Every structure is written in structure tokens, then in C-alpha cells.
Amino acid sequence: MARILITSAIPYINGIKHLGNLVGSQLPADLYARYQRCRNNEVMFLCATDEHGTPAELAAAKAGKPVAEYCAEMHAVQAEIAKGFCLSFDHFGRSSSPQNHVLTQHFAGKLAEAGLIREVSEKQVYSNADGRFLPDRYIEGTCPNCGYDKARGDQCENCTKQLDPTDLIEPRSAVSGSTDLEVRETKHLYLCQSSLKEDLDAWIDSKADWPILTTSIAKKWLHDGDGLQDRGITRDLDWGIPVKKGGHDWPGMEGKVFYVWFDAPIEYIACAGEWAEANGKTDADWERWWRTDKGADDVRYVQFMGKDNVPFHTLSFPATILGSGEPWKMVDHLKSFNYLNYDGGQFSTSQGRGVFMDQALEILPADYWRWWLLSHAPENSDSEFTWENFQQSVNKDLADVLGNFVSRITKFCRSKFGEAVPEGAEYGPQEQALIDEVTARVRTYEAHMEAMEVRKSAQELRAIWVAGNEYLQNTAPWSVFKTDPEQAAAQVRLGLNLVRLYAVLSAPFIPQASASMLESMKCTDDSWPDDVPAALSALTPGHEFVVPEVLFAKITDDQREDWQTRFSGTRD
């Protein structure tokens, strides 16, 4: 049994996330977690809400609520939506947790002891209209590198270049839109990332199996231009983790908080502590996942995230871990994704463009969305959601291929043999050919899943579904029954066993439909088919079943047109 630690990028607390956010981190992470559990491996799948910084403050102000109250409410909302999408987190934590306060201050103290934090007197942008210093991400302007006119003061999301607010052309406040900005002096702490450049470079070079997207972004930040820069880790804000060294006051830093990008990744570790407390576990129970001196040396740690999060997770967070000098588990594989665009444009939380997670669940069950998003995951390039493509994929893959197979075989058996697996003849050459094909495809499917090749996994799973349909078409048991009912019974028996096999194989992608198929087969055995031929004889003659309800309803043209119109505007 392997031990797999999985984290997905933690979403900001300021509102409900869109489908692009979902497919860029949480959903593929869930796919991998579910698959590894199916293989009987021990899995710890962690996520949380990212609750600090100006985004939370502004969203709370807009809602007319204290920021702590707003964050608590939105955490509950995001957790409920995650359940709606069947995201199987072992714990869904909060970066504002006491555990993260303690750990963040602990890491800061260790980095200071190692001489990797320096105090800097710097000039920062102050908005007279807003009466406050503006964090980097709340200053907008034109990127000097690519010309994108909505670049943030910390990074351009279009070209991913790291920026300082003073780099922006025609900067403005993202809070009020005011251009009445001035530069004032303030003191902050900087993490000396540049001192760790060689260590980080060597560590990244050791990850030969990382996606090209991941390593290319990391290397670009390390070597382009002036290379890896020291990074501010504190901010002049009210809401956040107070700047302290291991719980003790930090002279000169009174009233400041840690920068959200310093404390947010540390929440991955703190989240395990939250899990332990919520489940009556001890420190040893969570440390065995995160400390290599406490048992985590045999853990494989995998992260999932969109490409915009890669720099902080390949450089800044690893710099924190390496710089602490402590035996913390570092990521083994970082699976990154490109962007999912929406119907000719971009998904955007700030601009309210696209389908958001709560809206998606209002119109269709989770499996419809899970299948489309995963089978079109933006792995090697950006991909695009269109309603036409969504309708076509749901109707062809889910309704015509999988749903149709399950319906045909169960209804035919009921009409000719009753609601129990028929005995009939032994499997013949056609059955053996199908078993051989499915066996080979299952092994290929497993290889793609292990390699986290999401689209290839979906394609292979669909091919396994198609094999069953082609077998039914070629053998035509409804015709064979007229002359050789024993042979038809054998064909039906294999078909019913395929339903169970499909349920097991499909569980990581479409867990609701998988559960429905197993329930209709009156089967509690969901063990993975290490021996495919044996799995295709698991349901023995006399085993009862029921014909399931329609697994997937087709999307009509009227529905598609209605949804296109309904979601063509912006979200209020």
C-alpha cells in the first residue's frame, strides 16, 4: 500500500468559483485521489479556503459584514458546493485557522534564525481616495511586458511575469478605480529567496517527470531578467496572521500581517493539523504525512493547480520549506494546468464572466460537469467551454455510449430472462476477444491515471465503454435468443458484468453514476479489477439486479439555447 498526499490550490474566499477554477485544481486532484483510493492506497486529500488579504476585506465590506463573519459564511458555502461536486477532501480547512497562525509564525521565526529574512524600508503605493496602502494585487494597470491592460501589481495573469506596482503603466486602484495614488515609505519583511536560488534550481532539476508547463514557468522565474528576487512577506492590513516570530512579538512589525502568499501555502500543512483535531487524532497522526522525521519519508506528495499559481508553489513555498532547515515533506509532483476559457472569452471571477459552480449544479447533476471538464482538461494548452461542445459530449459519451449500454443490457435481460443474471452457455470466442480487449484497455487506463494524464484517461475509459456497445452490436443477443437462448444468456451475463466493471472503473470520473450502477446491480463489491477476466465473472448466475433509472438525460437544443442566453451576461 502506497501513501499519497494530495493538495489542490486553495481557492480565495471572495465568492463562488467558476468552472475554470474547478478544472484547474480541485477536480483533477479529486480524480487522482479517488483513483488512488480505488487502488487501496492510503490517501490524504487536503484543501482549504484562502481567507486573508485584501480580497477578503473588500468582499466582506461589499457584503456589509465583518470580515471574520464573512469568511466563516463563505467557507461553509464553498464546502457545500464542493460536496455537490463530489470532491472527496479528507479535510477542507481554513487558512485563518489557529493551526495556520501557529505554523506561519513558526516558519517566519525559523527563516529569521537562518538569516533569510531582512527588514526593508520601501516605498509603497497609497491610495488617497481609499485611505489605505494598496496591496500589489489591488493596483491595476497595463503590463510593461505584454501590454495586457488589467495586469495586477504583483503579477500579470496574461503573461505570468512577476511585477511590482511601480512597473505598471497608468496604475489605478482596483478598489475605487482612482488614479490619485502616491508612494509612501513603510517597513516590511522580505524573504531572501535569491539566497536559495541554487538550491531551488537543483531541486527543480531533480523533478524529471514534471509537466513541461510546470518546469518552464519555474525556470523562467528563476533565470529570466534579473532572476529570482527577494519577496515581501508582510503587508499593512488589519486582517491576517499577525507578524510574530514563533508567537513572540517582532519589534517594528506591530500592526502588520503576513502576506497572504506567505501564509496560504503553509495552510496545506496546517490543514492536516485541522483534520487531526476534527477527527480526534494526535499530532503524530498528521505529522506522519508532513514530517520526514515522523514517517513522511515514504509519502508521495502531489499538488494540482493552474499555471498562474505555479511560481509560488515551485519557488516561494519551497523556499520557505528549504529555508526553515526542518524536515518537512516537499512536493514530489506538481501537476499544472492551462486555462479553460468560456465561449469565446475568459472566465473571470472579478468580472463575473462564465458559469459558476453553484449555477452549474442548479441546472445539471455533478457528473455531467465532471465528465466534460475532465475529458477536456486544459493540460497541454488552453481549452474552451462552449455549450455546443458540452451538449455533444454529454449526449454522445454519457447518454449514447454509457447510458445506452446499461439500459439496453438490463432491459433486454429483464424481458427475456428476468431480473437476475442468467446462466446459459460458457463464454465463447467473441466473449474472450472482448475480455482480452477490455483487459488491455484497463491496463492502459491505469497507466494514464498513474501518470495523471487526465484527458488520455478519459479517452481510454470511453473506449472501454464503447467496447461493450460494439460487442452488443456485433453479437446481437436479441437475435441470437431466437435460435440459441443459451448463447444469448452468456452474452447477457457478460454484459451485466460489464455494467459492474464500468461502475468501478468510472467511479473516479462520475461517482454518482457509478454508485447508481452498483446499486442497480445490487452489488457492494467495488474492488478494482486487478484480474479483469475474474471481474467479468463476478456476478454469477442467479444474482439479482434491477433496471436503473436513466443514467444520463440528453441535453435538448432548447435547453442548450436557454442556457447560452441565460449565462451570456455577467454574474451579479
Strand partners, 155: 162
Distance CA 391, CA 395 (A): 6
Across 274-416, where does the E strand assignment appear? 299-306, 333-337, 340-342, 345-346, 383-385
Contact 386, 36 (CB under 8 A): no
Query: Is the separation of the CB atoms in 454 and 374 below 8 Å?
Result: yes
| Cα 34 → chain centroid | 12
Which DSSP category does 137 fall into?
Answer: G
| Residue from 104, 110, 81, 73 nearest 21 by CA | 81
Does 146 appear as a known binding residue?
A: yes
86 marked ligand binding residue: no
Angle, helix 98-113 to helix 317-324, in steps of 10 degrees: 60
- The span from the CA of 285 to the CA of 294, in Å, is 9
Work out whether strand 3-8 and strand 299-306 pair parallel, antiparallel, or are unpaired. parallel
The kind and range of the H/E element at 210 are none
413 assigned binding-site residue: no
> Do 352 and 391 meet the contact criterion of CB atoms below 8 Å apart?
no
Residues contacting residue 560 through CB under 8 Å, at least 6 positions apart: 387, 388, 390, 391
CA torsion through residues 117, 119, 123, 129, sign? positive
Supply φ then ψ for residue 125, to 5 degrees.
-75, 130
Residues pairing with 18 in the sheet = 356
Task: Report the alpha-carbon distance of residue 326 to residue 279 in Å, rounded.
Answer: 26
Q: What is the DSSP string of 390-404?
A: HHHHIIIIIIIIIIH
User: Which H/E stretch holds residue 345?
Assistant: strand 345-346
Per the CB < 8 A criterion, the answer to whether 133 and 236 are in contact is yes
8 A C-beta contact, residue 554 and residue 395: yes
Cα→Cα distances 190→222, 225, 252, 436, Å: 17, 20, 14, 60
Beta strands in 205-288 (DSSP E): 231-232, 234-235, 244-245, 248-249, 257-258
Is residue 143 annotated as involved in ligand binding?
yes
571 φ, ψ (degrees, to nearest 5) = -80, 135
Q: Is 540 annotated as a binding residue?
A: no
Instruction: Please enumerate, by residue number, every residue annotated as part of a binding site for ATP.
Output: 349
Instruction: Please enumerate, by residue number, every residue annotated as part of a binding site.
Output: 143, 146, 156, 159, 349
Instruction: Please enumerate, by residue number, every residue annotated as part of a binding site for Zn(2+).
Output: 143, 146, 156, 159
